[in-house]
Structure 1
Amino acid sequence: MQQWWSLVTATQPVPGAEQQALIGLVALGLVVLAWPWTRMLSTIVHEGGHATVAMLVGRRLEGIRLHSDTSGLTVSRGRASGPGMVATLLAGYPAPALFGLLTAWVLSKGYAVGLLWGCLALLLVMLLQIRNLVGAGVMLVLLAGMGAATYYLEPVHQSWVAHLLTWVLLMSGPRVTMELGLRPGATSDPGQLRRLTGVPTAVWTGLFAFVSWATALAGFGVLVPQLATVWQGS
Protein backbone atom coordinates (compact mmCIF):
# COMPACT_ATOMS: atom_id res chain seq x y z
CA MET A 1 0.00 0.00 0.00
CA GLN A 2 2.86 2.36 0.85
CA GLN A 3 4.56 1.61 -2.47
CA TRP A 4 1.29 2.25 -4.34
CA TRP A 5 0.78 5.57 -2.52
CA SER A 6 4.36 6.61 -3.29
CA LEU A 7 3.71 5.86 -6.97
CA VAL A 8 0.44 7.81 -7.05
CA THR A 9 1.87 10.87 -5.30
CA ALA A 10 5.14 10.92 -7.25
CA THR A 11 5.61 13.67 -9.82
CA GLN A 12 6.64 13.22 -13.44
CA PRO A 13 8.34 15.74 -15.74
CA VAL A 14 5.84 17.91 -17.57
CA PRO A 15 6.16 17.56 -21.39
CA GLY A 16 7.78 20.53 -23.10
CA ALA A 17 6.11 22.83 -25.59
CA GLU A 18 7.07 20.70 -28.62
CA GLN A 19 5.76 17.51 -27.01
CA GLN A 20 2.58 19.30 -25.96
CA ALA A 21 2.09 20.54 -29.52
CA LEU A 22 2.41 16.98 -30.82
CA ILE A 23 -0.01 15.64 -28.20
CA GLY A 24 -2.40 18.49 -29.02
CA LEU A 25 -2.30 17.62 -32.72
CA VAL A 26 -3.08 13.98 -31.96
CA ALA A 27 -5.98 15.10 -29.77
CA LEU A 28 -7.26 17.36 -32.54
CA GLY A 29 -7.12 14.43 -34.95
CA LEU A 30 -9.14 12.31 -32.52
CA VAL A 31 -11.75 15.04 -32.05
CA VAL A 32 -12.08 15.61 -35.80
CA LEU A 33 -11.60 12.13 -37.27
CA ALA A 34 -12.76 9.85 -34.44
CA TRP A 35 -15.54 12.03 -33.10
CA PRO A 36 -18.05 9.24 -32.25
CA TRP A 37 -15.48 7.78 -29.86
CA THR A 38 -14.26 11.02 -28.37
CA ARG A 39 -17.82 12.35 -28.15
CA MET A 40 -18.70 9.38 -25.93
CA LEU A 41 -15.91 10.43 -23.58
CA SER A 42 -17.37 13.93 -23.55
CA THR A 43 -20.84 12.47 -22.87
CA ILE A 44 -19.52 10.52 -19.88
CA VAL A 45 -18.10 13.69 -18.34
CA HIS A 46 -21.27 15.61 -19.30
CA GLU A 47 -23.50 13.13 -17.48
CA GLY A 48 -21.03 13.00 -14.61
CA GLY A 49 -21.45 16.78 -14.27
CA HIS A 50 -25.23 16.43 -14.08
CA ALA A 51 -24.95 13.62 -11.53
CA THR A 52 -22.42 15.41 -9.31
CA VAL A 53 -24.37 18.66 -9.11
CA ALA A 54 -27.67 16.81 -8.62
CA MET A 55 -26.26 15.15 -5.50
CA LEU A 56 -24.67 18.38 -4.27
CA VAL A 57 -28.01 20.22 -4.38
CA GLY A 58 -29.78 17.42 -2.53
CA ARG A 59 -31.45 15.56 -5.37
CA ARG A 60 -31.58 11.76 -5.34
CA LEU A 61 -29.61 10.23 -8.20
CA GLU A 62 -31.62 7.47 -9.90
CA GLY A 63 -29.08 6.45 -12.52
CA ILE A 64 -27.18 7.26 -15.72
CA ARG A 65 -27.67 5.88 -19.22
CA LEU A 66 -25.23 6.04 -22.12
CA HIS A 67 -26.61 5.33 -25.59
CA SER A 68 -24.99 3.95 -28.74
CA ASP A 69 -25.56 7.27 -30.55
CA THR A 70 -23.22 8.88 -27.95
CA SER A 71 -26.09 10.65 -26.18
CA GLY A 72 -26.75 10.19 -22.48
CA LEU A 73 -29.34 10.70 -19.78
CA THR A 74 -29.01 11.34 -16.06
CA VAL A 75 -32.15 10.83 -13.98
CA SER A 76 -32.47 12.36 -10.52
CA ARG A 77 -35.45 12.60 -8.20
CA GLY A 78 -36.52 15.84 -6.53
CA ARG A 79 -38.42 19.02 -7.32
CA ALA A 80 -39.18 19.35 -11.03
CA SER A 81 -38.32 23.05 -10.87
CA GLY A 82 -36.39 25.49 -8.74
CA PRO A 83 -32.69 26.38 -8.29
CA GLY A 84 -31.60 22.79 -7.71
CA MET A 85 -33.01 21.58 -11.01
CA VAL A 86 -31.62 24.60 -12.85
CA ALA A 87 -28.15 24.00 -11.37
CA THR A 88 -28.33 20.33 -12.37
CA LEU A 89 -29.19 21.21 -15.97
CA LEU A 90 -26.49 23.88 -16.10
CA ALA A 91 -23.77 21.41 -15.11
CA GLY A 92 -23.70 19.20 -18.20
CA TYR A 93 -22.30 21.08 -21.19
CA PRO A 94 -19.55 23.01 -19.36
CA ALA A 95 -18.37 19.84 -17.57
CA PRO A 96 -15.91 18.45 -20.19
CA ALA A 97 -13.95 21.69 -20.57
CA LEU A 98 -14.12 22.46 -16.83
CA PHE A 99 -12.90 18.98 -15.96
CA GLY A 100 -10.24 19.38 -18.63
CA LEU A 101 -9.09 22.62 -16.98
CA LEU A 102 -8.90 20.85 -13.61
CA THR A 103 -6.86 17.99 -15.05
CA ALA A 104 -4.60 20.48 -16.85
CA TRP A 105 -3.86 22.16 -13.51
CA VAL A 106 -3.10 18.79 -11.88
CA LEU A 107 -0.81 17.87 -14.77
CA SER A 108 1.00 21.21 -14.53
CA LYS A 109 2.05 20.10 -11.02
CA GLY A 110 3.43 16.86 -12.41
CA TYR A 111 0.84 14.46 -10.98
CA ALA A 112 0.05 12.58 -14.19
CA VAL A 113 0.04 9.11 -12.60
CA GLY A 114 -2.08 10.29 -9.69
CA LEU A 115 -4.51 11.86 -12.16
CA LEU A 116 -4.97 8.58 -14.05
CA TRP A 117 -5.63 6.71 -10.81
CA GLY A 118 -8.10 9.41 -9.77
CA CYS A 119 -9.93 9.13 -13.10
CA LEU A 120 -10.01 5.36 -12.70
CA ALA A 121 -11.63 5.74 -9.27
CA LEU A 122 -14.22 8.19 -10.62
CA LEU A 123 -15.10 5.81 -13.47
CA LEU A 124 -15.59 2.97 -10.99
CA VAL A 125 -17.96 5.13 -8.92
CA MET A 126 -19.85 6.18 -12.03
CA LEU A 127 -20.14 2.57 -13.21
CA LEU A 128 -22.25 1.83 -10.13
CA GLN A 129 -24.82 4.35 -11.40
CA ILE A 130 -25.07 3.04 -14.99
CA ARG A 131 -28.49 1.60 -15.74
CA ASN A 132 -28.23 0.12 -19.27
CA LEU A 133 -26.12 -2.49 -21.03
CA VAL A 134 -24.63 -0.14 -23.62
CA GLY A 135 -23.52 2.24 -20.89
CA ALA A 136 -22.06 -0.59 -18.83
CA GLY A 137 -20.17 -1.90 -21.85
CA VAL A 138 -18.73 1.54 -22.64
CA MET A 139 -17.65 2.07 -19.06
CA LEU A 140 -16.03 -1.37 -18.80
CA VAL A 141 -14.04 -0.81 -22.00
CA LEU A 142 -12.89 2.59 -20.76
CA LEU A 143 -12.03 1.15 -17.35
CA ALA A 144 -10.03 -1.65 -18.97
CA GLY A 145 -8.07 0.82 -21.09
CA MET A 146 -7.43 3.16 -18.18
CA GLY A 147 -6.49 0.28 -15.92
CA ALA A 148 -4.04 -1.10 -18.48
CA ALA A 149 -2.43 2.33 -18.86
CA THR A 150 -1.98 2.74 -15.10
CA TYR A 151 -0.63 -0.78 -14.62
CA TYR A 152 1.54 -1.51 -17.65
CA LEU A 153 2.87 1.82 -18.94
CA GLU A 154 5.95 3.57 -17.62
CA PRO A 155 5.30 6.87 -15.78
CA VAL A 156 6.52 8.96 -18.72
CA HIS A 157 4.08 7.21 -21.05
CA GLN A 158 1.31 7.52 -18.48
CA SER A 159 2.00 11.25 -18.52
CA TRP A 160 1.48 11.32 -22.29
CA VAL A 161 -1.83 9.46 -21.93
CA ALA A 162 -3.00 11.84 -19.21
CA HIS A 163 -2.10 14.88 -21.30
CA LEU A 164 -3.81 13.42 -24.37
CA LEU A 165 -6.96 12.82 -22.33
CA THR A 166 -6.87 16.42 -21.11
CA TRP A 167 -6.37 17.87 -24.59
CA VAL A 168 -9.30 15.80 -25.89
CA LEU A 169 -11.58 17.02 -23.09
CA LEU A 170 -10.63 20.65 -23.64
CA MET A 171 -11.27 20.39 -27.39
CA SER A 172 -14.44 18.32 -27.22
CA GLY A 173 -16.24 20.79 -24.94
CA PRO A 174 -16.41 23.57 -27.56
CA ARG A 175 -17.27 21.13 -30.35
CA VAL A 176 -20.24 19.73 -28.43
CA THR A 177 -21.60 23.23 -27.80
CA MET A 178 -21.21 24.04 -31.51
CA GLU A 179 -23.32 20.99 -32.35
CA LEU A 180 -25.85 22.08 -29.73
CA GLY A 181 -26.16 25.46 -31.44
CA LEU A 182 -27.15 23.70 -34.66
CA ARG A 183 -29.78 21.48 -33.00
CA PRO A 184 -31.10 23.08 -29.78
CA GLY A 185 -34.13 20.80 -29.29
CA ALA A 186 -36.86 21.29 -26.74
CA THR A 187 -35.64 18.32 -24.69
CA SER A 188 -32.01 19.50 -24.67
CA ASP A 189 -30.54 21.14 -21.58
CA PRO A 190 -31.06 24.68 -22.99
CA GLY A 191 -34.62 23.75 -23.98
CA GLN A 192 -35.41 22.52 -20.48
CA LEU A 193 -33.76 25.60 -18.96
CA ARG A 194 -35.95 27.82 -21.14
CA ARG A 195 -39.03 26.00 -19.84
CA LEU A 196 -37.92 26.39 -16.21
CA THR A 197 -36.67 29.98 -16.34
CA GLY A 198 -38.29 31.65 -19.35
CA VAL A 199 -34.84 32.67 -20.63
CA PRO A 200 -34.56 31.91 -24.39
CA THR A 201 -32.80 28.75 -25.51
CA ALA A 202 -30.30 30.78 -27.53
CA VAL A 203 -29.09 32.54 -24.38
CA TRP A 204 -28.35 29.26 -22.61
CA THR A 205 -26.70 27.83 -25.72
CA GLY A 206 -24.52 30.93 -26.00
CA LEU A 207 -23.62 30.72 -22.31
CA PHE A 208 -22.56 27.09 -22.66
CA ALA A 209 -20.46 27.94 -25.72
CA PHE A 210 -18.79 30.90 -23.97
CA VAL A 211 -17.92 28.90 -20.85
CA SER A 212 -16.60 25.96 -22.88
CA TRP A 213 -14.42 28.10 -25.15
CA ALA A 214 -13.11 30.30 -22.32
CA THR A 215 -12.33 27.29 -20.15
CA ALA A 216 -10.67 25.46 -23.05
CA LEU A 217 -8.44 28.44 -23.82
CA ALA A 218 -7.53 28.71 -20.14
CA GLY A 219 -6.69 25.01 -20.13
CA PHE A 220 -4.46 25.38 -23.20
CA GLY A 221 -2.65 28.18 -21.40
CA VAL A 222 -2.07 25.94 -18.37
CA LEU A 223 -0.78 23.07 -20.50
CA VAL A 224 1.47 25.31 -22.60
CA PRO A 225 2.41 28.38 -20.51
CA GLN A 226 4.08 29.92 -23.56
CA LEU A 227 0.60 30.39 -25.04
CA ALA A 228 -0.52 32.38 -22.00
CA THR A 229 2.56 34.60 -22.36
CA VAL A 230 1.70 35.27 -26.02
CA TRP A 231 -1.93 36.08 -25.18
CA GLN A 232 -0.91 38.44 -22.38
CA GLY A 233 1.58 40.15 -24.67
CA SER A 234 -1.06 40.71 -27.32
Structure 2
Amino acid sequence: MGNTSIADVWDRVFGTQPDPEQWLVIATGVVALLAVLPHGVWRLSRNAVTIAHEGGHGIVALLSGRRLDGIRLHSDTSGLTVSRGKPTGIGMVLTAAAGYTAPSLLGLGGAWLLAANHITALLWGATALLVAMLVMIRNAYGVLTVFVAGGAFLLVSWLTDPEVQAAFAYGVVWFLLLGGVRPVFELQGKRRRGGAPDSDADQLSRLTQVPAALWLLLFHLVSLASLLAGGRWLLSL
Protein backbone atom coordinates (compact mmCIF):
# COMPACT_ATOMS: atom_id res chain seq x y z
CA MET A 1 0.00 0.00 0.00
CA GLY A 2 2.82 2.38 0.91
CA ASN A 3 4.68 1.73 -2.35
CA THR A 4 1.48 2.17 -4.32
CA SER A 5 0.72 5.47 -2.60
CA ILE A 6 4.20 6.80 -3.28
CA ALA A 7 3.97 5.71 -6.90
CA ASP A 8 0.58 7.36 -7.25
CA VAL A 9 1.85 10.63 -5.82
CA TRP A 10 4.94 10.52 -8.04
CA ASP A 11 2.82 9.92 -11.12
CA ARG A 12 0.40 12.67 -10.13
CA VAL A 13 3.15 15.24 -9.68
CA PHE A 14 5.55 14.35 -12.48
CA GLY A 15 3.15 12.85 -14.98
CA THR A 16 1.63 14.81 -17.83
CA GLN A 17 -1.82 16.31 -17.99
CA PRO A 18 -3.99 16.89 -21.06
CA ASP A 19 -3.83 20.17 -22.98
CA PRO A 20 -6.51 22.65 -21.92
CA GLU A 21 -8.90 24.06 -24.48
CA GLN A 22 -7.48 26.98 -26.47
CA TRP A 23 -10.24 29.29 -25.21
CA LEU A 24 -9.10 28.68 -21.63
CA VAL A 25 -5.51 29.59 -22.50
CA ILE A 26 -6.67 32.82 -24.11
CA ALA A 27 -9.13 33.61 -21.32
CA THR A 28 -6.49 33.21 -18.61
CA GLY A 29 -4.20 35.51 -20.58
CA VAL A 30 -6.92 38.16 -20.70
CA VAL A 31 -7.54 37.82 -16.96
CA ALA A 32 -3.80 38.16 -16.29
CA LEU A 33 -3.68 41.26 -18.47
CA LEU A 34 -6.55 42.76 -16.47
CA ALA A 35 -4.54 42.09 -13.31
CA VAL A 36 -1.58 44.05 -14.71
CA LEU A 37 -2.98 47.03 -16.63
CA PRO A 38 -5.52 48.80 -14.31
CA HIS A 39 -3.62 50.82 -11.73
CA GLY A 40 -5.96 49.99 -8.85
CA VAL A 41 -5.74 46.24 -9.44
CA TRP A 42 -1.99 46.41 -10.06
CA ARG A 43 -1.41 47.96 -6.64
CA LEU A 44 -2.61 44.66 -5.15
CA SER A 45 -1.45 42.13 -7.75
CA ARG A 46 2.05 43.62 -7.83
CA ASN A 47 2.69 41.86 -4.50
CA ALA A 48 3.05 38.61 -6.46
CA VAL A 49 5.66 40.17 -8.73
CA THR A 50 7.52 41.45 -5.67
CA ILE A 51 7.65 37.90 -4.28
CA ALA A 52 9.24 36.72 -7.54
CA HIS A 53 11.57 39.75 -7.65
CA GLU A 54 12.93 39.32 -4.13
CA GLY A 55 12.95 35.54 -4.50
CA GLY A 56 15.16 36.00 -7.58
CA HIS A 57 17.64 38.06 -5.58
CA GLY A 58 17.65 35.44 -2.84
CA ILE A 59 18.06 32.37 -5.06
CA VAL A 60 20.90 33.88 -7.08
CA ALA A 61 22.62 35.13 -3.93
CA LEU A 62 22.68 31.58 -2.57
CA LEU A 63 23.74 30.07 -5.91
CA SER A 64 26.60 32.55 -6.21
CA GLY A 65 27.94 31.64 -2.78
CA ARG A 66 26.63 34.60 -0.81
CA ARG A 67 24.98 34.29 2.61
CA LEU A 68 21.31 35.20 2.57
CA ASP A 69 20.38 37.08 5.76
CA GLY A 70 16.70 37.60 5.02
CA ILE A 71 13.93 38.94 2.81
CA ARG A 72 11.31 41.56 3.64
CA LEU A 73 8.09 42.22 1.74
CA HIS A 74 6.12 45.39 2.41
CA SER A 75 2.49 46.36 1.93
CA ASP A 76 3.44 49.09 -0.56
CA THR A 77 4.72 46.23 -2.83
CA SER A 78 8.36 47.13 -2.20
CA GLY A 79 10.81 44.57 -0.89
CA LEU A 80 14.34 44.12 0.39
CA THR A 81 16.73 41.19 0.20
CA VAL A 82 19.87 41.31 2.35
CA SER A 83 22.85 39.06 1.66
CA ARG A 84 26.42 38.99 2.86
CA GLY A 85 29.57 38.38 0.91
CA LYS A 86 32.07 40.16 -1.28
CA PRO A 87 30.60 43.61 -2.08
CA THR A 88 31.87 43.47 -5.66
CA GLY A 89 32.42 40.78 -8.27
CA ILE A 90 30.27 38.54 -10.42
CA GLY A 91 28.23 37.12 -7.53
CA MET A 92 27.09 40.57 -6.45
CA VAL A 93 26.36 41.59 -10.05
CA LEU A 94 24.27 38.50 -10.72
CA THR A 95 22.40 38.96 -7.45
CA ALA A 96 21.55 42.57 -8.24
CA ALA A 97 20.52 41.72 -11.81
CA ALA A 98 18.24 38.87 -10.74
CA GLY A 99 15.39 40.95 -9.31
CA TYR A 100 13.82 42.59 -12.35
CA THR A 101 14.53 39.58 -14.56
CA ALA A 102 13.20 36.91 -12.17
CA PRO A 103 9.42 37.25 -12.77
CA SER A 104 9.82 37.05 -16.54
CA LEU A 105 12.30 34.16 -16.43
CA LEU A 106 10.12 32.25 -13.98
CA GLY A 107 7.19 32.84 -16.32
CA LEU A 108 9.26 31.59 -19.25
CA GLY A 109 10.19 28.43 -17.35
CA GLY A 110 6.56 27.95 -16.38
CA ALA A 111 5.47 28.34 -20.01
CA TRP A 112 7.96 25.64 -21.01
CA LEU A 113 6.57 23.27 -18.37
CA LEU A 114 2.99 23.94 -19.49
CA ALA A 115 3.92 23.39 -23.12
CA ALA A 116 5.25 19.99 -22.02
CA ASN A 117 1.93 19.31 -20.18
CA HIS A 118 3.54 19.28 -16.71
CA ILE A 119 0.83 21.35 -15.06
CA THR A 120 0.88 19.68 -11.63
CA ALA A 121 4.69 19.66 -11.54
CA LEU A 122 4.64 23.41 -12.09
CA LEU A 123 2.21 23.92 -9.21
CA TRP A 124 4.20 21.73 -6.84
CA GLY A 125 7.50 23.30 -7.91
CA ALA A 126 6.10 26.77 -7.22
CA THR A 127 4.87 25.57 -3.81
CA ALA A 128 8.33 24.25 -2.95
CA LEU A 129 9.97 27.54 -3.92
CA LEU A 130 7.50 29.52 -1.81
CA VAL A 131 8.06 27.24 1.21
CA ALA A 132 11.82 27.68 0.85
CA MET A 133 11.37 31.44 0.60
CA LEU A 134 9.10 31.49 3.65
CA VAL A 135 12.02 30.36 5.82
CA MET A 136 13.95 33.51 4.87
CA ILE A 137 11.14 36.06 5.36
CA ARG A 138 11.86 38.45 8.21
CA ASN A 139 8.64 40.45 8.65
CA ALA A 140 5.01 39.63 9.40
CA TYR A 141 3.52 41.02 6.20
CA GLY A 142 6.00 39.04 4.15
CA VAL A 143 5.21 35.83 6.02
CA LEU A 144 1.48 36.35 5.48
CA THR A 145 1.88 37.10 1.77
CA VAL A 146 4.10 34.11 1.00
CA PHE A 147 2.04 31.78 3.21
CA VAL A 148 -1.17 32.70 1.39
CA ALA A 149 0.48 32.31 -2.01
CA GLY A 150 1.99 28.94 -1.14
CA GLY A 151 -1.29 27.73 0.38
CA ALA A 152 -3.15 28.65 -2.79
CA PHE A 153 -0.75 26.66 -4.95
CA LEU A 154 -0.88 23.66 -2.62
CA LEU A 155 -4.68 23.58 -2.38
CA VAL A 156 -5.17 23.93 -6.13
CA SER A 157 -2.58 21.26 -6.95
CA TRP A 158 -3.96 18.73 -4.44
CA LEU A 159 -7.69 19.30 -4.20
CA THR A 160 -8.92 20.48 -7.60
CA ASP A 161 -9.58 18.72 -10.90
CA PRO A 162 -7.30 19.05 -13.96
CA GLU A 163 -9.37 21.83 -15.54
CA VAL A 164 -9.06 24.07 -12.48
CA GLN A 165 -5.37 23.28 -12.15
CA ALA A 166 -4.82 24.20 -15.79
CA ALA A 167 -6.71 27.49 -15.47
CA PHE A 168 -4.77 28.43 -12.32
CA ALA A 169 -1.38 27.45 -13.75
CA TYR A 170 -1.91 29.24 -17.05
CA GLY A 171 -3.19 32.32 -15.25
CA VAL A 172 -0.13 32.43 -13.00
CA VAL A 173 2.32 31.99 -15.87
CA TRP A 174 0.59 34.61 -18.01
CA PHE A 175 0.67 36.96 -15.03
CA LEU A 176 4.41 36.47 -14.49
CA LEU A 177 5.13 37.05 -18.17
CA LEU A 178 2.95 40.16 -18.39
CA GLY A 179 3.67 41.39 -14.87
CA GLY A 180 7.40 41.16 -15.47
CA VAL A 181 7.19 43.87 -18.12
CA ARG A 182 5.48 46.69 -16.21
CA PRO A 183 7.93 47.14 -13.28
CA VAL A 184 10.79 47.87 -15.68
CA PHE A 185 8.79 50.68 -17.31
CA GLU A 186 7.85 51.93 -13.84
CA LEU A 187 11.51 52.00 -12.83
CA GLN A 188 12.42 53.82 -16.03
CA GLY A 189 9.76 56.44 -15.29
CA LYS A 190 10.96 56.92 -11.71
CA ARG A 191 14.55 57.41 -12.83
CA ARG A 192 13.46 59.89 -15.51
CA ARG A 193 11.81 61.95 -12.75
CA GLY A 194 14.93 61.75 -10.61
CA GLY A 195 13.65 59.05 -8.26
CA ALA A 196 14.95 55.60 -7.25
CA PRO A 197 18.65 56.61 -6.98
CA ASP A 198 19.49 53.26 -5.35
CA SER A 199 17.55 51.06 -7.78
CA ASP A 200 18.94 47.75 -8.96
CA ALA A 201 20.01 49.39 -12.24
CA ASP A 202 21.92 52.11 -10.38
CA GLN A 203 23.57 49.58 -8.08
CA LEU A 204 24.62 47.56 -11.12
CA SER A 205 25.99 50.71 -12.73
CA ARG A 206 28.15 51.38 -9.68
CA LEU A 207 29.32 47.76 -9.59
CA THR A 208 30.20 47.48 -13.29
CA GLN A 209 30.74 51.07 -14.52
CA VAL A 210 28.12 50.30 -17.18
CA PRO A 211 25.46 53.04 -17.46
CA ALA A 212 22.22 52.29 -15.64
CA ALA A 213 20.33 52.95 -18.88
CA LEU A 214 22.01 49.90 -20.44
CA TRP A 215 20.99 47.74 -17.48
CA LEU A 216 17.43 49.01 -17.92
CA LEU A 217 17.67 48.05 -21.58
CA LEU A 218 18.75 44.55 -20.53
CA PHE A 219 15.76 44.29 -18.17
CA HIS A 220 13.46 45.37 -21.02
CA LEU A 221 14.97 42.84 -23.42
CA VAL A 222 14.64 39.97 -20.94
CA SER A 223 11.04 40.79 -20.03
CA LEU A 224 9.82 41.37 -23.58
CA ALA A 225 11.69 38.40 -25.05
CA SER A 226 10.31 36.15 -22.28
CA LEU A 227 6.78 37.40 -22.97
CA LEU A 228 7.10 36.71 -26.70
CA ALA A 229 8.69 33.28 -26.31
CA GLY A 230 6.50 32.24 -23.39
CA GLY A 231 3.36 33.46 -25.12
CA ARG A 232 4.18 31.38 -28.18
CA TRP A 233 4.61 28.29 -26.01
CA LEU A 234 1.37 28.91 -24.15
CA LEU A 235 -0.59 29.46 -27.35
CA SER A 236 1.15 26.48 -29.04
CA LEU A 237 2.25 28.66 -31.97
Q: What percentage of residue pairs aligned between the two structures are identical?
A: 46
2:7 alignment partner in structure 1? 2
Deviation of 1:16 (Å): 3.6
Aligned Cα root-mean-square deviation (Å): 1.2
Residue 98 of structure 1: how far off its partner (Å) = 0.6
2:17 pairs, out of 12, 15, 25, with 12
Partner residue in 2 for 1:229: none
- Residue 134 of structure 1, CA deviation: 0.8
Cα distance in 1, alignment partners of residues 11 and 230 from structure 2: 27
The code of the aligned residue for 2:169 comes to A
Looking at structure 2, the residues matched to 171 and 179 of structure 1 have their Cα atoms a distance apart, in angstroms, of: 14
The alpha carbon displacement at 1:36 in A equals 2.2
The alignment partner of 2:136 has SS state of coil
Tell me whether 1:145 sits opposite 2:156 in the alignment.
no
- On the 8 A contact 1:12/1:156 being kept in 2, the answer is no
Equivalent of 2:29 in 24, 27, 51: 24
Q: CA deviation at 1:87?
A: 1.1
Which of 203, 207, 211 aligns to 2:214? It is 203
CA offsets 1:38-66 (integer angstroms, 9 cap, x no match): 21111111111111111111111111110
Q: Deviations over 1:147-177 (max 9, x none)?
A: 2212221122101100100000000011111
Q: CA deviation at 1:25?
A: 0.6
Q: 8 Å contact 1:149–1:158 — kept in the other structure?
A: yes
1:179 is aligned, of 186, 207, 220, to 186
Residues of 2 paired with 1:58 and 1:22: CA distance? 41
Aligned equivalent of 1:63, options 70, 88, 109:
70
Distance 2:125 2:223 in 1: 23
**What TM-score do you get using the length of structure 1 for normalisation?**
0.93
Equivalent of 1:216 in 223, 227, 232: 227
Residue 38 of structure 1 contacts residue 168 of structure 1 at CA under 8 Å; is this kept in 2?
A: no
Whole-angstrom distance in 1 between the partners of 2:44 and 2:152: 13
Structure 1's unaligned 5+ residue stretches are: 227-234
Q: How far apart, CA to CA, are the structure 2 residues paired with 1:181 and 1:17?
A: 35
Cα shift readout 1:173-215 (whole Å, capped 9, x = no counterpart): 1111111111132211001111112222211111111111111
Moved more, 149-158 or 8-17: 8-17
Task: Give unpaired runs (5+ residues) of structure 2.
Answer: 1-5
